[in-house]
Amino acid sequence: MIHANLLLNIMKTKQEKKYDLLGNYYEIIQKNTQESSKTKRTRRELSFVKRLISRYFPRRKTIRILDIACGSGRHLVPLVKDGYKVDGIDISREMLKSLSKKLDKEYDAEIIHGDMRIKRLERRYNFAYSFFNTLAEMTKDIDDAKNVLMNIKRCLRKGGILLLDTENPRRYLYKIDFTLKGKEGDIEAQQHFKTIEYQDVSGLLCLREHLRVKRGGKKIEDRVIDNTYKWWTADELHLLFEACGYKNIKIAGDDYRVDRTPKSSKRILIVGQV
């Protein structure tokens, strides 16, 4: 019988490979889109994080924060520069390399390479967050999701808070078809996303991601990656949080107000306490 950790190690390679490949071009592709650090959406996400922190932790700058699947540091970097103590974990070394370039050594941030489904972290945190559909990236079924949520719970202090952000599958997953592109120096990179199949009942999305990169007009990368993701609904997330022992569960939508349910909202932000 294959040991569960060994199986996860085999499974992780696809995500790791994808982001290691993307890592070099991620910033270029995302630069002109709503996902970059300077944009309104990131600013709103950061202010939501800060609002939650000041609501739950009066001595806000002494708390220790974990950015799960931190990528190239869209949230971690501005928070650390603003005086927060934030560590980041991500499965892709290339994404972490791109993050590390943005941080000087004097900043109080530990950058950890690892798979959040299995990595045992040494530190304990007051607040953990994860933005941009990372649960869908990390999980394909309930067992996977429970692994992640229990692992996060293990590294949270008593009273600690978890915030997860994901796209609402009820809104538009079955018809994804768009391209992100960017340019930096002589590099032109673009990524096309297209739904191959979306099963509404199971929430499983099979997505084709096509990366094309040119240097000085010459093609240097042309790679198609098909991936299956489990997209969680607000109700499923609520049940998962409950099953894993999170309390005081609250859900917010596009307007970042925790007292509203996001039926027609594009995003779901779920908060739970241990």
Nearer to ligand SAM, 73 or 262 (CB): 73
Least distance to ligand SAM from the beta carbon of 114, Å?
7
Least distance to ligand SAM from the beta carbon of 172, Å?
17
Least distance to ligand SAM from the beta carbon of 125, Å?
15
Q: How far apart are CA 107 and CA 83, in angstroms?
A: 9
CA dihedral 59, 60, 64, 65 (to 10 degrees): 160
Nearer to ligand SAM, 19 or 127 (CB): 19
Q: How far apart are CA 268 and CA 265, in angstroms?
A: 7
Q: Which of 132, 157, 156, 115 is nearest to 231 (CA)?
A: 132
Nearer to ligand SAM, 81 or 263 (CB): 81
Q: How far apart are CA 7 and CA 272, in angstroms?
A: 29
Nearer to ligand SAM, 71 or 272 (CB): 71
Nearer to ligand SAM, 144 or 236 (CB): 144
Report the interhelical angle of 93-100 vs 4-31 (nearest 10°): 50
Residues with Cβ within 8 Å of residue 37, at least 6 apart in sequence: 74, 77, 78
Nearer to ligand SAM, 8 or 214 (CB): 8
Least distance to ligand SAM from the beta carbon of 20, Å?
8
Least distance to ligand SAM from the beta carbon of 46, Å?
11
Nearer to ligand SAM, 20 or 236 (CB): 20
Q: How far apart are CA 38 and CA 182, in angstroms?
A: 15
Least distance to ligand SAM from the beta carbon of 75, Å?
6
Residue closest to ligand SAM, measured at CB: 71
Instruction: Give the footprint of ligand SAM on this chain (CB under 6 A).
Output: 12, 15, 19, 69-71, 74, 89-92, 95, 115-117, 131-134, 137-138
Q: Which two tokens stand for residue 65?
A: 């924060």
Q: How far apart are CA 269 and CA 250, in angstroms?
A: 8
Nearer to ligand SAM, 89 or 244 (CB): 89
Q: How many CA atoms lie within 13 A of 249 on its CB side?
A: 18
Q: Which two tokens stand for residue 233?
A: 């609904």
Least distance to ligand SAM from the beta carbon of 248, Å?
24
* Long-range contacts at 143-146 (CB < 8 A, ≥ 24 apart): 144/117, 144/230, 145/230, 145/232, 145/240, 146/240, 146/243, 146/244
Least distance to ligand SAM from the beta carbon of 19, Å?
3
